[in-house]
Amino acid sequence: MTTFPELIEKAFASKPANEIRNVCLIAHVDHGKTTFADSLVTTNALISNRMAGKLRYMDSRSDEQERGITMKSSGVSLIYGPLLLNLIDSPGHVDFSSEVTSALLLSDIALLLVDVVEGVCSQTHTLMRQAIQNGQTIILVLNKLDRLKVELRMSSSEAYRHIVRLLEAVNSSLSQFVSGLTLEDDTWGHMEALEQRVHFEPQKGNVLFSSATHGYAFGVNEFADIWTERLKIDKSELAQHMFGDFYLSGSKIQSDAASRGKKTLFEQLVLDPLWALHECALIDMNLEKTIALAEKLGIKVKTKRLPDAFDETLRLWLPLATTCFRACARAMSALNAFKEPQRLDKILAKSDSLRESIAKCSPDGTTIAFVAKFVHFEESQLCIIRVLSGRITKGDTLYLAGKRKLAENKDEITTVIEQVYALRGREMIAVSSAVAGVICAIKATNLVPNATLCSIPIEQGLQIGSEMGEPLVRVSISVPDLDKMAALCEALRLIVLLDPSLRVIEQENGELALFTAGEVHLQKCLKDLADMGFSKLEVSSPIVPFQETVIPDPSFTFTEISQQETQSRLQNDTLHLKLRVVPLSEEVVTLLEKSNELLSEIRKNTCDGNKLLHFKEKLITAACQTLPVLKGSYWFKKSAEEITAYFDKIWGFGPEKARENILFNSIPGYEQRNAWRSDDIQLRPLDNNITTGWELFCGGGPLCHEPLRGVGLILEEWTVDETDTAAAGQLVNAMRQTCTAAMKKHPARLVAAMYKCVISTTSTALGKVHAVLAQRKAKTLSEDINEATGLFEVNAVLPVVESFDFSDHLRKRTSGMGSGQLEFSHWQIIEEDPYWVPTTQDELEEFGTKGDSINHAKGYMDAIRRRKGLPTEDLIVVSAEKQRNLKKNK
């Protein structure tokens, strides 16, 4: 008898690409992905049917089993008839979005699971958009169908109407994404064809109905098979009319069921028999009747326990794995994955020589593969790859390329394939080779995430993989035993390779800082370190970054604005600076934020001329439209010509951690290199001292030494006696101190990182949800009822600094009836003045003499200053003159 490893070895070596399906499971958290995956795994006898949904085979980590949530995407290769199906299970929690991205990059088919009761949730929207952007075939799976009958006690008619509304909601979201993407990509001509291709209709076979817990699933084709012979109606005709406003009249299918008061075919032929089984087994708890109904379906139940009898009946009547595999067989194969030019254009230039090989997906072509992610297995570091063309064999030497082109004088980098593995959930199966179209793991040298492997030298790799957002939550870590510091650094280096959402830096004081995507992600990283032997780490409290900015004050007169000019004179006028700080509009700041990579290229003087010119035009346009309307600022009512003159002479932008700031050169007659030109203009000897002082100022503002955002600095004059070495040495510090003094002449504000918060709750817990949001200083944006689920959806923005333990707090206050999802949204100015104190009689009566109890900005500022050791207004001794009472009560 052939063993499973032997079957996998043979499939990986010789399976044609048209018989390979690469599938990923995606869904909002707790919508049933891992349980669904367990049912698929049972087909290859890796686990028993009874353990499906309980074992969580794809969750290999102990903390995944304890929490009941997936944190790392994992894969398994399955054999179904002639098909080789590579299945990737991904996390649903937003903190692990990088794992979801890896799963989507590897696959061609996305099984999108949606809880039929909860409906479309926040993460469902994000996943749909990502899958459409990647050009994947999406199969919608309406999971947990049993809840409609068992929990909500819906009749077949009510359940059908509920499902129709849910499908309409999903398709409505889909249409919005398609319109948005075609607008972004300027591909309006393809919009109708794309929408038709991805539109969900049960008749097209891209909608399945399932209950992963009970192991059953079906589409309209499965029930068409069941009823075609009995009703004497052609199977294809029955499948086309099974879902919709059609009813059965004699042996003919008629339309307008709703207007005639008739039951639709879906209610009569699908839900009625299914609901009868659910009522017998799960509501009435009648074993004999359940077994009798099973016998009518031609199923002999062996077990005598009621829950097992129901599961066995449904698994044999409507097997989940068979339905799912059939749907995948009808969908996109690995051979056709990159046949469409639109999908190929996203990873390769039209002139690239690799296009033909990738489109053909031939095992005899040029070997091309890309590295999606890293995993840890048996003390080794492995890479999960997708073979796009050719064949990967143990012992091969392949060339390595990244997203950027190699420099002309740089040698090609090669890697040696030490071993090839097939994925098997928690394990790996060693194989000799992997053919075009498969997903596998390899052990090799010199590899990095998103790298491209090729059998011929190439200048630039595939443009696969998205840039991860900057992590927000930071902790400092250290080990009590300093002898283990080198081992800790090595462990962190490995974790960073395995987790693209994690950043590790060494701080100025020598401590190591971990930057993570959120609270759950932080706990997962610390668990990884504990598993690697670092269980006694010293971990600081989580630190959330803030930024500082200045805002225009509408009450300022033109005279007051002109007096914001700041001058500095040192050592008998041997050093003289004259400058002013100005606010930048939110539109200009947003443009700078989105162009972060381009600003890095400008700083390194490696930016393409056409790209630079295009960016300059966009920046000047945004400035001319928004700056003249900033009442109370230096820009107010300035003409477009004046503003263009300033932006033509941008000396530079902010440093790496504070890019969204601009240094303007407004010194009359002074020409020097600027952001738009890097020709051979002779620099003054101390030009770099000016920019260094500016960058130090951007790195820490006057409020609490946090990076600046949206601040412009207009340098109007500077003179220095270049022969006086003392004055030249003081220029950097003088520049920084003068900038700080100029900024203090403006209203300064803190800028906080904000989460987008989406909460689903029942009407009874809605008031408690708003109480929790108010306590966390969140701002509610909208509150709507989801017609498909009957639940309220509250959209809000929440400061990241207030988000710790938010989910637990919300669940406790709402008794488990409210669940929230947090995702980074934007940076937002805190409107409160951190230096505000009550002054008028009314304010003193309302807020007291200090008023700091309601000044959240001051609370944040003081907390940061205490952490950094900066002076605050805290009293060291409270009530110094109070008499002490030393008497002890007995």
Q: In the prediction, which pLDDT does 718 show? A: 82
pLDDT at 722: 67
Query: Are both 511 and 578 inside the same structural domain?
Result: no
Q: At residue 277, does pLDDT exceed 50?
A: yes
> 596 with 606, same domain?
yes
The reply to whether 155 falls in a domain is: yes
537, 654: one domain: no
pLDDT for 49 beyond 70? no
In terms of domains, do 607 and 525 share one?
A: no
CB 142 within 8 A of CB 208: yes
Q: Do 78 and 207 share a domain, yes or no? A: yes
First-to-final CA distance of the chain? 85
Amino acid identity, residue 749? R
- Between residues 790 and 25, which one has the greater pLDDT? 25
Q: Give me the domain span that covers residue 487.
A: 474-543
CA atoms within 13 A on the CB side of 52: 29
Q: Does any domain span residue 728?
A: yes
**pLDDT bucket at 465, cuts 50 / 70 / 90:** low
As a whole number of angstroms, the distance between CA 602 and CA 597 comes to 9
What pLDDT shows up at residue 685? 66
Q: What CATH number is associated with residue 636? A: 3.30.230.10
Considering the domain boundaries, does residue 890 fall inside one? Answer: no
Is the domain of 486 the same as that of 368? no
Write out 294-351 in H/E/C secondary structure. HHHCCCCCCCCCHHHHHHHHHHHHCEHHHHHHHHHHHCCCCCCCCCCHHHHHCCCCCC
791 is a domain residue: no
As a dihedral over the C-alpha atoms of residue 832, residue 834, residue 837, residue 843, rounded to 10 degrees, the angle is 10
- Least trusted range by pLDDT, from 189-203, 771-785, 829-843: 189-203
Indicate if 592 and 609 belong to the same structural domain. Answer: yes
| Cα 687 to Cα 691: distance, rounded to the nearest angstrom | 7
Top pLDDT among 672 and 311 is at 311
Our count of domains for the chain comes to: 5
Contact predicate 857/750, CB 8 Å: yes
- Per DSSP, helices labelled H in 544-638 are 558-562, 586-594, 596-604, 609-626
Same domain, 198 and 237: no
Is 880 a residue whose pLDDT tops 70?
Answer: no
pLDDT at 551: 92
Q: Is 447 part of any domain?
A: yes
pLDDT at 468 over 60: no
Write down which residue in 267, 296, 330 finishes a domain.
330
Is the pLDDT at 184 greater than 90? The verdict is no
Q: Quote the pLDDT of residue 51.
A: 55
> What pLDDT, on a 0 to 100 scale, did the predictor assign at position 114?
93
* pLDDT score at 182: 66
Lookup: tokens for 498: 């395995």
pLDDT score for 65: 45
pTM of the model: 0.67
The reported pLDDT for the residue numbered 173 is 84
| Mean pLDDT across 156-162 | 93
Domain match, 485 and 612 both: no
Last residue of a domain, one of 528, 543, 558: 543
Residue 167 in domain? yes
Q: What is the pLDDT of residues 128-140, one digit of tens each?
A: 888 888 888 999 9
State mean pLDDT over 537-548.
Answer: 87
List, as one string, the DSSP characters of 223-279.
Answer: HHHHHHHHHT--HHHHHHHSSSSEEEETTEEEE-HHHHTPPPHIIIIIIHHHHHHHI
| pLDDT computed for residue 732 by the predictor | 86
Angle at 206 between CA 203 and CA 208, to 5 degrees: 90
Name the token pair of 401: 């390329």
Average pLDDT score over the chain: 82
Residue 748 has pLDDT above 60, yes or no: yes
Q: Is residue 853 part of a domain?
A: no
Q: How far apart are CA 657 and CA 659, in angstroms?
A: 6
Is residue 515 over pLDDT 80?
yes
Res. 93 pLDDT band, cuts 50 70 90: low
Confidence bin at 725 (pLDDT 50/70/90): low
Are 253 and 307 within one domain?
Answer: yes
Q: Which of 330, 356, 386 is the last residue of a domain?
A: 330
- Please check the confidence at residue 829 and state whether its pLDDT lies above 60: yes
For residue 861, give the nearest of 705, 741, 736 by alpha carbon: 705
Residues 6+ apart with CB under 8 A from 371: 383, 384, 385, 447, 448, 449, 450, 451, 452, 453
For residue 759, being part of any structural domain is answered with no
Query: In this structure, are 35 and 179 located in the same domain?
Result: yes
Render pLDDT for 591-615 as a digit per residue (tens, 0 to 9). 998 888 888 888 887 777 788 888 8
Per-residue model confidence (pLDDT) at position 702: 92
CA distances from 456 to 385, 401, 449, 459, 582 (A): 18, 11, 20, 10, 54
Domain with 415 in it: what CATH number?
A: 2.40.30.10
525, 437: one domain: no
CATH code of the domain in which 491 resides? 3.30.70.870
Instruction: Say yes or no to pLDDT of 401 above 80.
Output: no
Q: CATH code at 303?
A: 3.90.1430.10
Whether residue 63 has pLDDT greater than 50? no
